[in-house]
Amino acid sequence: MAIRLHEMLNRKLSAIVYADVHGYSRLMDQDEAGTVVRLTRSLNLIRGLVSDYGGSVIDTAGDGLVALFPSAAQALHFAVEMQRELSNEVVWSGAQEPITYRIGIAIGETIASDGAIYGHGINLAARIQSLAAPRGICIAESVRQLVRSEPECSFRSLGKQKLKNIADELEVFAVDFELSHEVPRTSPLLFAAAPERSAPESSVAVLPLENVSGDPADFHLCQGVAADLISNLCRFRNLMVIARHSAIAVMGQTRSPREIANQLGVRYLLSGSLRRAGTRLRIAVDLIEAQTEHTIWSERYDGSIEDIFAFQDDVTAMTASRLAVHIDMAEKRRLISQNHPNIHAYGMILRGQDLSFRFRPESNWHARRLYEQARDLDPRYARSYAALSRTFNVEWRYAWTKDPEGALNEALNLASLAVQHDDLDARGYSEMGLAHLYKKEHDPAIAAYERALQLNPNDADLLAEMGDCLVYVRQAERSVKLLERAMRLNPYYPDSYLWYLGDAYFQLGEYEKTIETLQKMQDGSEGHRLMAASHAHLGNARDAEKHAHELLKVHPNFTTAQWRKVPPHKHPEDTELLIDGLRKAGLR
């Protein structure tokens, strides 16, 4: 009987993550009700993230959590992102002491029996967890052997440890990683080189805020304030505002105001710094005339984090006024009447945006969890619905879903909700346009993009995305103009702008210009389709076949039959023109 029972046990080798709240008893003694609320919120998020990163939760007793992962790399990836997520939470926790976890990771065999999970490895992970610092991660030597090449982490030996109720001494390693780090929308290597440009009178670049306090947890706050200032300033039609991506790229090359302005083609720079202590903020901004490097206006702001939106509005209006831009009363009312969100929801959106631009399925799902929590915290917050919409659209485009039609329908539904909650925010309309486009509902797509541009006429990414949309409805000439303006506003533009522009030239039958444009891409992976078809239509058989071969290296499962379903052309013969070129290039 004993042998038969042994055979019935379900054994599996797993990477085991054990997470436990640091100082739980003290937190409960200080503020029982508040601690329960914050703990529940953090555990709800963590449970969802476990599945997004490929694991499964087996226990969440009290203040602890145990999860199993198929590999050590997945377990470590989850643990790092969990600690980063909770570190970001510190900014928005106010005067309350934040919830911090310690994490231990071990490799071991687990046994499933009668709905419960047992195993020596679980006990081992728990003991290793006790050695970690708050917000830290410790791992067993066996785990380190499997993850030693992880690029984002380094490992520091804590020596041989005698662990409670573990017979043999075990070498334990602390994991060193950045709690917060910038993941730009596009790698600097993907930016096209931008020559020095003449500067219009009313032109400005908003530089990233300096994180004076040095706390990595403040990174997203610094980035978010700068991004929102840019978005607000883009609403003034007579003011040319450089996109955030380009400002970041140039800041990585030089700190000289004159050189930055020459590279970006602007007359003025808005620079600043941020310092946070609990909920208290000190933000300083300077408007600089770049060629003389003279400061023509400064603003110093001391307040609480809950007042950050009023500060952004003040700086936006003052900057525009100082640049002698005419602001009519309607524009003033639009800025003043913004519905400012719950501050905690705002923080979740900032963190989610960082994750969204990684374009990995687990990061997309992670971002979605944050946007959902932001929506639940503040159901009126329009940006949470717009951000959620994009996650479903990306899921559809990258085939990360088993229900593509359902994903597109949800993207459109969420974009509509964003517009309902704030019909003065361009983000909801732009996401609505994108969803309508890929559903091949062309007139509503164009109408949504037009409304978005009315609200934010100088948003470079929005101009580029509408330019892409116009290609599919035979408005390629206007598409070219919009893309050229986007490139002016974002001189260090990403490859996607070139891809959109090449598509417009292809639609116009200008295959040489298509090739010339796509050759400027730093990463030509997504340009091989158009390159192959363009060369084929020009009769350049050898070059067409070369790009067809490169396309199959990137997308080995590519077929013309499958691709025919993807481009959202209004006129089927436009899709067939592309498919015909691909077939001439030798693709099947």
Tokens of 426: 């361009």
pLDDT per residue over 196-228, tens digit each?
Answer: 555 666 788 898 889 988 888 788 888 888 888
**C-alpha 340: how far from chain center:** 22
11 and 148 inside one domain? yes
pLDDT at 39 over 50: yes
Residue 555 lies in a domain: no
Q: Please give the helix or strand (H or E) that residue 203 lies within, else none.
A: strand 203-206
Phi (first) and psi of residue 67, to 5 degrees: -135, 150
In three-state secondary structure terms, 491 is coil
Q: Please give the helix or strand (H or E) that residue 539 lies within, else none.
A: none
154 and 217 inside one domain? no
15 vs 355, more confident: 15
Tokens of 494: 């990403």
45 and 110 inside one domain? yes
User: Which CATH number belongs to the domain containing residue 30 in this structure?
Assistant: 3.30.70.1230
Domain extent for 41: 2-176
When mean pLDDT is compared across 134-143, 225-234, 579-588, the lowest value belongs to 225-234
What DSSP state is assigned to residue 530?
A: H
What span, in angstroms and rounded, lies between the C-alpha atoms of 383 and 13? 42
Residues in Cβ contact with 216 at an 8 Å cutoff, skipping those fewer than 6 apart: 87, 178, 179, 180, 181
In three-state secondary structure terms, 506 is helix
pLDDT per residue over 321-346, tens digit each?
Answer: 676 544 444 445 455 555 677 888 88
Rounded mean pLDDT of 398-402?
A: 84
62 and 147 inside one domain? yes
Output the pLDDT for position 327.
Answer: 42
pLDDT per residue over 76-103, tens digit each?
Answer: 999 999 998 888 777 776 556 778 899 9
In three-state secondary structure terms, 111 is strand
Instruction: Give the number of domains in the chain.
Output: 2
Rounded mean pLDDT of 529-539?
A: 95
317 vs 435, more confident: 435
Residue 88 lies in a domain: yes
What span, in angstroms and rounded, lies between the C-alpha atoms of 428 and 546? 41
11 and 44 inside one domain? yes
